[in-house]
């Protein structure tokens, strides 16, 4: 029996709605927490205001872009694709707004809850993260399935839905780049004057850039990361479905499978989230079922004496539990779809690979491990050797992720080929591996998006002078967030490469390219241009951070100089000007890189032809993957080398070694939070632009 | 009439011998100069001793490698290839030894000659550079042509001669990596303790690492650069001839053409060298021919008042004159070969592209231009922003080189295709463009290899307390060398990519790969692994520099601490221990990266199959090109930003801005002199290993 595609899509839609309902319920729960004292609320209000101001202005700029591109699509292609584009952009933007809305309200509630207990603090912060995580997967799934049902049966149905991915990727790029520039400009600016020049601690309310810094954590790590994974998630499902459509007799099952996997992913994610935030029972009642009792035993109890390891174990149990559940449920999905068991192995491969990359990332960036400690040791001979060592760590950290992804590609193609005997089945399997890798997104994103909430909570506790035990608890939550962030990055990078490869395969099919000989006339120039794009893009974003941070430094210096009594606490800093400068700079600077990502594929496709464009995507994918991993891991390792020294190694805080480490950390900031993560989106956006416009490219001006 | 291939080869051999005779005559001329006073001779002796010690130990290590690989080739392939491999390695090593031999003797003679006049100084230093330049092209050409004639008519003739390229590339890699580690370890070590900790000037004889530093200039920039371009030059000719052999009826002319171009290149280079070092006549005698008078007018007169611009003009006239001559002579070569005029246009394209890349390199690294000044400006906010800005400049500087190379590929393929109607002709044309780009190598390498001689001469003048006017003149010669070095790097990088592409095409032909679909199962994993190799390689070499420099720092500190009277000049520093440490470290550290470059292609070719290996070469080529340009230009820009500040900008020497600039310069040292330039060789060596072993690879373990 062949499982009908519409049944899979309807199941996915229903699960998407379930996820949406969870988002609403959880939103009510998180907002029901108390907001602490007046000082805390005043700070929270300032952060909320700054975030809202940035988001509304950012979305206004993006709206212009969306209108222009939608018009272009309508004229060049068809209105259906333009419509899907707008829906994709809107769905992603809505998830981002909602995530931000709750994050800037959960921060103060987390600080207040942490005053009562560690687990209460975790429940609020993680609740906020889970709202973001579930909103991303639900909104994406609802959007795609509804569009699928609307256009059901139309011949260009899947090409139209690629428009949804295009919309999602566009938002992602702007959110990542804009948010990334904002957060690092504020961070670097605040640190350079506050910590280095004036010698006041981090998160000190006297620093005029402190609110901008806190806003930045949210616009970068919540809205940016959310939109990033929204596009990877959507892109992987679209690419898989598109490739599945070309698989002949069983295509109905193949198109439906990614939707089914996504649907079971929502169930599993909800389970994972419950593991962390469900109310902990004092005693198990006898009326409980066996399953409920088993689950309770599986959960880690978090009490006041819980160490970082306990908290980490709680989150790990959450993600692992979700993964196990997905493996079980997806086996059922594969079996009822009536396709080969091999495809379940592919999903398993994707899940394992995601975790393996995350493990490698952690190894190269944790200060308990050799690579980061080698950076700390290099601080003894100054800033230059610290930088050289950090870059070397970043570069060498690319080896295993590359080998892991290469293995996934080989295994997936091999399993798909073995099952259905065609190369097309093999490429479908690669795409499916990406879906597998991202299937736990609802909960992995929750562990990620919870970090900035905890970070903000710590800032609020500091600024409103809460008792040190509160700050101690928020610090524990914050450290936990830093560790889990590495996991999120591993998944983001690994899935981006697989998705880009799947989109490339979909593009090649859609553009009717029958031979893609690497020694063709235009392919190699295309590859070189593609390999250059991540460098150009990184240069633009790094310079943007530098320029914006420079402006903040000048403004903060001016305020310390001109506002009387600022240092002794009698004068009031002007937070809003700093927030305004960050907003202005981020918005202005995000336009050029964003536009380039859309325009370059169109130019290459039209001038050099469709084969060159395929080459460009391959070049961008390989070069971007390497550069992204290098930047992310070097940045993370520098950050943690500094933290390692701050634990008292090599003279501790204030020593010459610490100063050298701070230089490394500052170089690493735009690496890990602006340029590096944007590259994932760059390669996916260029791939999806190519896919959407695939039919409009010819053989180019050269014609050979 | 078809020009017979053996005639071209014999002409090339004769011209190679002419070049060899020039080398001997010029060697006699340079060595006939006086060696200055006793103090100068003592310093020169120490440098000579250190260099000889390093070279003899380096070649002993390389000899072991050569014996192992030659045995492997004999067993796996055939003895003829192994023989060519040994000849290639020996020819490259001989050119390198000779270049070093004269460089470490010309330095002291340059210092003495600079005591008489600027032009005399230039004549000695440039004479030394031209010996290196002409030795490289002559030895390469003699070696290849003799082997060609020995194996004439044998079916695997060209495959055997590829072994020559393999030998040359192996030497190049070890010379570049070993020399690069040596020179930067000594440089960084000497600076960190001498300049920074003890506050003594550069090239101060009290610094125990000063001799090692001077030896390093020679082993890195003379022997390393020479071997690097030896392999590019040989590789481009081998690749072109190999591709020419597949071109059917006219293949005899196509195989012969690169040899003819190389032959006219020697004539043109000799002309270019004469422009600079010929004795300047006071008055033109009436007995002179018109041509001789025209040449005399073309030459720039260098008198005592000559500015840097005059010197630069003299070198430019030299290179441009040689280029013009090549264009004229190669037109004749193309016409008598009886092939399309289009191929002359290809050579023209290659020559123009080489100069264009050099121009871009100069723009991004000269301190008179915006990019480097932006780095100098960034020093105001500290070391971190200096690093970020420098990396951004390096990244953005990749854009034009990529576009230039992409254009050369497109134009060459287009011109070749238009002439002979096959893709094979197009790929032949790409290889020919590389030959065109490198045809002026005899003279461009002279302008490059002359730099370290002038640099050493300055050091000797400083250490032996010569009058300040002498130091002033050697400084002028040194600045000139720094400027022309950028040109050399442009040619090295551009030609390396084209050569690698040509070798890839030759490999694909030799491995009998008929379809190279980018979406094949193993191609993309291959591309990713290839793209990773330059990162792994750079990480290894950067860490090696760091470790070696660390040892030097400890030793220099020890000597300052333990040797009584070292600072006030009454104690004698122990130069030899520093030289020994550099030698030890460089030799130990060069083994792993060198072995990787040979082993990885063999592993990938055997396990993943021959298509994956082709993918790996493409990935390595694109990723390595970008990383090499980025590192070279970022390094050059940091260096010059520091020099710009030293002219008095932003507080000049000793200011906080200068300290930040020094950090940038130190990070840039391994970038521009160790890791960056090694990448060119890495991609060529991996390509030529693949070509040599092409017939031994199957479809790999996966078999799809």
Q: B414 vs A614: CB contact, 8 Å cut-off?
A: no
Residue in B246, B406, B530, B673 to test binding to A, most A beta-carbons within 10 Å: B406
Residue of A nearest to B621 (CA): A528
- Angle between helical axes of B656-670 and B383-396 (0-180°, round to 10): 40
Residue B146 has φ and ψ, to the nearest 5°, of -60, -45
Look at residue B21 and tell me if it is in a domain: yes
Average pLDDT over residues A375-387: 91
In chain B, which among 185-214 make CB contacts under 8 A with chain A?
188, 192
Query: CB contact, 8 Å: A622 with chain B?
Result: yes
Kindly report the nearest CA distance between residue A563 and chain B, in angstroms.
Answer: 23
Q: A702 vs B542: CB contact, 8 Å cut-off?
A: no
Contact A365, B647 (CB under 8 A): no
Q: Name which of A474, A488, A359, A353 is nearest A410 in CA terms.
A: A353
pLDDT at A307: 73
Query: CB contact, 8 Å: B540 with chain A?
Result: yes
pLDDT at B546: 85
pLDDT band at A373 (very low <50, low <70, confident <90, very high): very high
Q: What are residue A517's DSSP bridge partners?
A: B517
| The pLDDT of residue B283 is above 60 | no
| The pLDDT of residue B1 is above 60 | no
Q: What is d(CA B483, CA B481) in angstroms, rounded to the nearest whole number?
A: 5
- Pull the structure tokens for residue B98: 């000779």
Residue of B nearest to A623 (CA): B623
Average pLDDT over residues B203-225: 85
Domain that holds residue A450: 5-280+289-696
Contact B549, B185 (CB under 8 A): yes
Kind plus residue range of the DSSP H or E element containing A55: helix A38-76
Q: B667 vs A387: CB contact, 8 Å cut-off?
A: yes
Q: What is the dihedral of CA A258, A261, A265, A266, to 10 degrees?
A: 70
Lowest mean pLDDT among A93-107, A369-383, A460-474: A460-474
Model pLDDT for residues B663-675, shown as the tens digit of each residue: 999 999 899 889 9
| The pLDDT of residue A386 is above 90 | yes
Average pLDDT over residues A364-371: 89
pLDDT at B5: 82
Average pLDDT over residues B157-186: 89
Q: A539 vs B409: CB contact, 8 Å cut-off?
A: no
Q: Name which of A408, A453, A416, A344 is nearest A123 in CA terms.
A: A453
Kindly report the nearest CA distance between residue B552 and chain A, in angstroms.
Answer: 12
Q: Name which of A228, A120, A235 is nearest A176 in CA terms.
A: A228
Strands (DSSP E) found in A129-201: none
Kindly report the nearest CA distance between residue B621 and chain A, in angstroms.
Answer: 9
| The pLDDT of residue A485 is above 80 | no
Q: What is d(CA B450, CA B477) in angstroms, rounded to the nearest whole number?
A: 9
Model pLDDT for residues A154-195, shown as the tens digit of each residue: 667 777 888 999 999 999 988 889 989 998 888 888 887 877
Q: A527 vs B667: CB contact, 8 Å cut-off?
A: no
Residue in B180, B377, B381 to test binding to A, most A beta-carbons within 10 Å: B381
Q: B520 vs A423: CB contact, 8 Å cut-off?
A: yes
Q: What is d(CA B135, CA A448) in angstroms, rounded to the nearest whole number?
A: 61
Residue of B nearest to A539 (CA): B392
Query: CB contact, 8 Å: A549 with chain B?
Result: yes
Q: What is d(CA A521, CA B104) in angstroms, rounded to the nearest whole number?
A: 47
| The pLDDT of residue B539 is above 80 | yes
| The pLDDT of residue A245 is above 90 | no
In chain A, which among 566-595 make CB contacts under 8 A with chain B?
none
Kindly give, in sequence order, each residue whose CB lies less than 8 Å from that of residue A507, ignoring residues fewer than 6 positions away: A613, A614, A617, A687, A690, A691, A694
Kindly report the nearest CA distance between residue B612 and chain A, in angstroms.
Answer: 11
Per the structure, how many domains does chain B have? 1
User: What's this model's pTM, rounded to 2 decimal places?
Assistant: 0.93
| The pLDDT of residue B690 is above 90 | yes
**What is each CA distance from B8 to B1, B232, B268, B325, in whole angstroms?**
14, 20, 17, 19
Look at residue B425 and tell me if it is in a domain: yes
DSSP codes joined into one string, B469-501: HHHHHHHHHHHHHHHHHHHHHHHHHHHHHHHHH
Average pLDDT over residues A447-458: 86
Model pLDDT for residues A27-75, shown as the tens digit of each residue: 999 999 999 889 899 888 988 988 888 888 888 888 999 999 999 999 9
Model pLDDT for residues B402-449, shown as the tens digit of each residue: 999 999 999 999 999 999 888 889 999 999 999 999 998 888 888 888
Q: A536 vs B392: CB contact, 8 Å cut-off?
A: no
Instruction: Provide the percentage of residues in chain B whose pLDDT is more than 90.
Output: 45
Average pLDDT over residues B514-540: 88
Look at residue B704 and tell me if it is in a domain: no
pLDDT at B486: 65
Q: What is d(CA A171, CA A92) in angstroms, rounded to the nearest whole number?
A: 7
pLDDT band at A475 (very low <50, low <70, confident <90, very high): confident
pLDDT band at A130 (very low <50, low <70, confident <90, very high): very high
Average pLDDT over residues B11-19: 96
Q: B532 vs A663: CB contact, 8 Å cut-off?
A: no
pLDDT at B132: 93
Look at residue A703 and tell me if it is in a domain: no
Q: Name which of B441, B444, B442, B410 is nearest B427 in CA terms.
A: B410
| The pLDDT of residue B343 is above 90 | yes
Contact A495, A434 (CB under 8 A): yes
pLDDT at A2: 60
pLDDT at B86: 96
Q: What is the CA radius of gyration of chain B?
A: 24
Q: What is d(CA B44, CA B47) in angstroms, rounded to the nearest whole number?
A: 5
| The pLDDT of residue A704 is above 60 | no
Q: What is d(CA A19, CA B599) in angstroms, rounded to the nearest whole number?
A: 51
Contact A517, A170 (CB under 8 A): no
Kindly report the nearest CA distance between residue B213 and chain A, in angstroms.
Answer: 19
Q: Name which of A411, A497, A426, A481 is nearest A232 in CA terms.
A: A497
Rounded to the nearest integer, the mean pLDDT of chain A is: 88
pLDDT at B196: 73
Query: CB contact, 8 Å: B370 with chain A?
Result: no
| The pLDDT of residue A283 is above 60 | no
| The pLDDT of residue A222 is above 70 | yes
Query: CB contact, 8 Å: A542 with chain B?
Result: yes
Largest CA distance in chain A: 79
Average pLDDT over residues A581-603: 90
DSSP state of B33: S
In chain A, which among 404-423 make CB contacts under 8 A with chain B?
405-407, 409-410, 413-414, 417, 423
**What is each CA distance from A532 to A279, A527, A672, in whole angstroms?**
51, 9, 19
Kindly report the nearest CA distance between residue B529 and chain A, in angstroms.
Answer: 6
Q: What is d(CA B561, CA B203) in angstroms, rounded to the nearest whole number?
A: 19
Kindly report the nearest CA distance between residue A288 and chain B, in angstroms.
Answer: 50
Q: What is d(CA A296, CA B309) in angstroms, rounded to the nearest whole number?
A: 81
Average pLDDT over residues A194-212: 81
| Other CB atoms within 10 Å distance of the CB of residue B324 | 15
Residue of A nearest to B615 (CA): A518
Residue in B426, B549, B622 nearest the CB of A622: B622
pLDDT at A284: 53
Kindly give, in sequence order, each residue whose CB lies less than 8 Å from that of residue A252, ignoring residues fewer than 6 positions away: A2, A3, A4, A5
pLDDT at A612: 92
Residue in B381, B389, B402 nearest the CB of A553: B381
pLDDT at A59: 87
Kindly report the nearest CA distance between residue B159 and chain A, in angstroms.
Answer: 20
Q: B539 vs A393: CB contact, 8 Å cut-off?
A: yes
- Angle, CA of A678, A679 and A683, to the nearest 5°: 125
Size of interface A-B (CB pairs under 8 A): 240
Residue in B397, B426, B626 to test binding to A, most A beta-carbons within 10 Å: B626
| The pLDDT of residue A248 is above 90 | no
Kindly give, in sequence order, each residue whose CB lies less than 8 Å from that of residue A205, ignoring residues fewer than 6 positions away: A43, A463, A573
Query: CB contact, 8 Å: A607 with chain B?
Result: no
Look at residue A108 and tell me if it is in a domain: yes
Residue in A373, A528, A530 to test binding to B, most B beta-carbons within 10 Å: A528
pLDDT at B285: 58
Model pLDDT for residues A74-89, shown as the tens digit of each residue: 998 889 999 999 999 9
Q: Name which of A70, A92, A90 is nearest A81 in CA terms.
A: A70
Average pLDDT over residues A504-511: 87
């Amino acid at each position: 029996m062949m499982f009908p595609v519409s049944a899979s899509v309807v199941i996915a839609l229903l699960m998407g709605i379930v996820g949406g309902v969870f988002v609403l319920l959880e939103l009510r729960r998180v907002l029901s927490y108390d907001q602490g004292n007046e000082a805390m609320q005043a700070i929270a209000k300032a952060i909320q205001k700054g975030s809202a101001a940035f988001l509304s202005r950012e979305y206004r700029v993006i709206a212009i872009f969306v209108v222009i591109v939608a018009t272009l699509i309508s004229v060049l292609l068809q209105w259906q694709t333009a419509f899907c584009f707008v829906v994709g952009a809107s769905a992603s933007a809505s998830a981002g707004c909602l995530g931000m809305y709750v994050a800037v309200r959960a921060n103060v509630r987390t600080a207040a809850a942490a005053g009562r207990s560690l687990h209460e603090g975790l429940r609020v912060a993680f609740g906020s993260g889970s709202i973001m995580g579930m909103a991303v997967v639900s909104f994406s799934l609802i959007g795609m399935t509804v569009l699928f049902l609307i256009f059901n049966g139309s011949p260009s149905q899947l090409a139209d839905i690629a428009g949804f991915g295009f919309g999602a990727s566009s938002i992602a790029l702007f959110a990542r780049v804009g948010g990334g520039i904002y957060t690092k400009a504020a961070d670097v600016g605040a640190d350079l004057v506050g910590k280095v020049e004036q010698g006041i601690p981090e998160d000190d309310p006297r620093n005029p850039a402190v609110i901008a810094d806190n806003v930045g954590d949210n616009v970068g790590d919540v809205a940016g990361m959310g939109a990033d994974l929204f596009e990877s998630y959507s892109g992987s499902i679209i690419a898989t479905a598109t490739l599945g459509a070309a698989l002949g007799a069983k295509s109905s099952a193949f198109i439906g499978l990614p939707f089914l996997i996504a649907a079971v992913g929502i169930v599993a994610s909800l389970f994972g989230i419950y593991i962390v935030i469900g109310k902990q029972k004092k005693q198990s009642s006898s009326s409980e079922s066996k399953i409920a009792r088993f689950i309770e035993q599986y959960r880690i109890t978090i009490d006041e004496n819980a160490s970082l390891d306990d908290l980490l174990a709680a989150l790990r149990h959450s993600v692992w539990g979700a993964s196990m559940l997905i493996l079980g449920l997806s086996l059922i999905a594969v079996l009822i779809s009536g396709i080969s068991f091999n495809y379940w192995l592919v999903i398993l491969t994707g899940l394992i690979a995601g975790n393996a990359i995350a493990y490698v990332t952690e190894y190269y960036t944790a200060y308990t491990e050799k690579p980061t400690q080698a950076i700390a040791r290099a601080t003894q001979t100054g800033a230059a050797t610290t930088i050289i060592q950090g870059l070397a760590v970043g570069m060498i950290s690319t080896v295993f992720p590359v080998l892991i992804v290469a293995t996934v590609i080989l295994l997936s193609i091999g399993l798909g080929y073995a099952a259905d005997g065609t190369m097309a089945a093999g490429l479908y399997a690669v795409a499916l591996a990406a879906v597998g890798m991202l299937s736990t997104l609802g909960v992995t994103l929750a562990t990620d998006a919870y970090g900035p909430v905890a970070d903000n909570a710590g800032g609020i506790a500091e600024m409103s002078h809460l008792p040190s035990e509160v700050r101690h608890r928020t610090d524990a939550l914050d450290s936990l967030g830093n560790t889990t962030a590495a996991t999120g990055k591993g998944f983001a990078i690994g899935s981006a490469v697989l998705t880009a490869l799947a989109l490339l395969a979909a593009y090649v099919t859609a553009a009717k390219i029958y031979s893609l000989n690497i020694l063709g006339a235009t392919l190699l120039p295309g590859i070189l241009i593609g390999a250059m794009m991540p460098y150009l893009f990184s240069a633009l974003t790094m310079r943007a951070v530098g320029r914006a941070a420079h402006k903040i430094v000048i403004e903060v210096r001016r305020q310390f100089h001109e506002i009387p009594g600022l240092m002794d606490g009698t004068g009031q800093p002007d937070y809003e000007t700093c927030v305004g400068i960050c907003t202005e700079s981020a918005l202005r600077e995000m336009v050029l890189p964003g536009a380039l990502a859309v325009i370059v594929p169109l130019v290459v496709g039209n001038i050099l032809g469709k084969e060159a464009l395929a080459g460009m995507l391959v070049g961008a994918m390989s070069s971007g993957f390497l550069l992204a991993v290098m930047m992310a891991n070097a940045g993370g390792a520098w950050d943690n080398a500094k933290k390692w020294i701050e634990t008292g190694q090599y003279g501790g805080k204030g020593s010459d070694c610490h100063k050298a480490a701070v230089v490394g950390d500052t170089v690493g900031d735009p690496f890990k939070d602006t340029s590096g993560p944007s590259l994932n989106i760059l390669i996916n956006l260029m791939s999806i632009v190519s896919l959407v416009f695939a039919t409009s490219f010819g053989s180019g001006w050269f014609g050979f």
